[in-house]
Structure 1
Amino acid sequence: MTVEAGLRIVEHDAQGIDTAFREDVLAGLSQRHKAVPARWFYDETGSQLFEDITGLPVYYPTRAETEILERHGADFAAAIGPGRAVVEFGSGSSAKTPLVLRAIQPAAYVPIDISGDFLRQSAATLAAGFPGLPVYPVEADFTKPVALPSEVADMPKLGFFPGSTIGNLVPPSAVDLLRSMRRTLGAKDHGGTMLLIGMDRLKDEATLLAAYDDPAGVTAAFNLNLLDRINRELDGDVPREAFRHLALWNDALGRIEMHLAAQRDLSFTIAGKTFAMASGETIHTENSHKYDLRSAAMLLLAAGWTPRAWHTDSAERFYVALAEATEPRTAP
């Protein structure tokens, strides 16, 4: 097993509080329409709950994407080639990563995740299955450019962004993130750097709602865990029992939305600041945008990634796209 010393690029204050988490929560709850970015779901408990979600019968994205990666391994290998450093953004448990690593003969693996303990556990597990493959975990917020370990600086890069996490962002922010990934991967105004990305396909409302409001209540627990994290890490007294999980389909914007809905009038304090909410008011915690082929391609192209191949599963529920960093164009 060759897990190398990882990088830690997360800022904490003297009390050990993640300053970006505190800033996002306080700013988001001060808005007229309250919201907290979805990336803050993923403390250790949240990361494990998400892994539980991926195994639910109604949650199709993981099975669909896994099918694609298994079926098209040879296609990916031919297009990508050996000897790349695979940089996974928001690696989580890295459950799908072995399918890619086995297919393309990489030179190194760099998982990036904001949940440090979960990241290191997953990196160690993966490294045990790939003896001799250098693994360099990086604890960081991948939504911003990240300095990669010096050991992979001169290697050609493949970014790996599975799970349709790109759908969590509104289109302008999604384009910004994809551009940021180009900078993290060292892509200049030339080809060579590649990105393998999962994107969920547009489909019927009933299937989508079932996937985000499962009858077992795992997604609800995942959503509500955000309040537990706020209380624990930001000295909050948010009454968890006063909120319920809410999932809805926003047809105009082509996305599933997740909210935490207040079930009564209430007030609470976080990091010394007091907030009030009326019954029925919500905290918007996640978007999950769904794409047809044209909108998916436009998103990538807008960020300087040119799609080279599209693959879908047998039920046509999900896309995995292989894209190449290309010179940005300002004219036809």
Structure 2
Amino acid sequence: MEAVVLHGGQGTRLRPLTHTGPKQLLKVAGKPVSHWVIDHLRNNGIRDVVVILGDNTPMRVVEYYGDGSKFDVRIRYVYQGRARGLADAVYRVRDVVGDRFLVYLGDNLVLHDLRPLMEFRGSASVMLAKVPNPNRFGVAVIREGRIVRLVEKPKEPISDLALVGVYAFDREIFDVIENLKPSWRGELEITDAIQGLVDRGRTVEYSIIDGWWKDTGTPEDILEANMTLLDRYVQRELQGEVEGRVEGRVTLLPGSKVVNSVVRGPAFVGRNTVIRDSFVGPYTSLGDNCEVLGAEVQNSVILDNVKLHQVSIADSLVGQNSVISREDRVQRAHRIVVGENSWLSL
């Protein structure tokens, strides 16, 4: 069975970070969100992956994943270009997938067993989860054990059962999508496509999942995902140089240095990153080639090639190739979201 990973979308709620790259490549706990997705697929036995590229720097995606061999999967690419909805993205793989396939949103983290979804017998299968804010999601209405209606981001909630970002389909979905009309948002909605299967009398199976999953659509979502993944997966693995104190579960990759500093886990430190005269953690991920000098960083995601000098930040998300330094003499904790290639004096 193939899996289709969607790598499009504008990521407007994550701007300015997504002005310069796709949201699915934002790192949490040391890896891009879609890297976690591909790991999850492989761990469930799926090694044939089709990545759908959007128009937001698609070559970055290709450069990162290549043919998939370094991730122990096979990756092929299909170009969607300008976002026209999830159903449009799915339709574009009609010539490269088999009779049954999965669709996985590349900015969603669903750490649940996928085998029940993969073993579906109807025309489609979906995962559902109860949410407090259904207007952010596609939702499903269930009556007498069957899905009877689906609506994308309803203005007035009709159900609290959100569609989690993993689906399974047979090839009839392509015939349904051919006859879809754009929604009020001007897009071909996946909820309308699944509704088309329901209207044809087809069986759309579902499972309601408990526990954590995350649509990483906002800075707050990225920080929560980072916290959860660090809690679940980070190990104490010190491959760099330590001339300070490292407390708890901290991953320190080769080439990195901790000098006269405290790093408190759970935390992740990328390759060739220097931490000097600083306090880092807990729940903090630092990318590769970062420089943290005389700084405090807590509960934050710092991407690659960032310099933090004499600043205190918390609950923050900093894009790659940025420099943040302190200008005033008063030490205070700042909460910031900074895009790539920024220079900021606090």
Larger Rg, first or second structure (1 or 2): 2
More helix by share: 1
TM range (shorter): 0.3 to 0.5
Q: Higher strand share goes to which structure? A: 2
Q: Which has the higher contact order (CA 8 A, sep 6+)?
A: 1
- What TM-score, normalized by structure 2, do the two folds share? 0.32
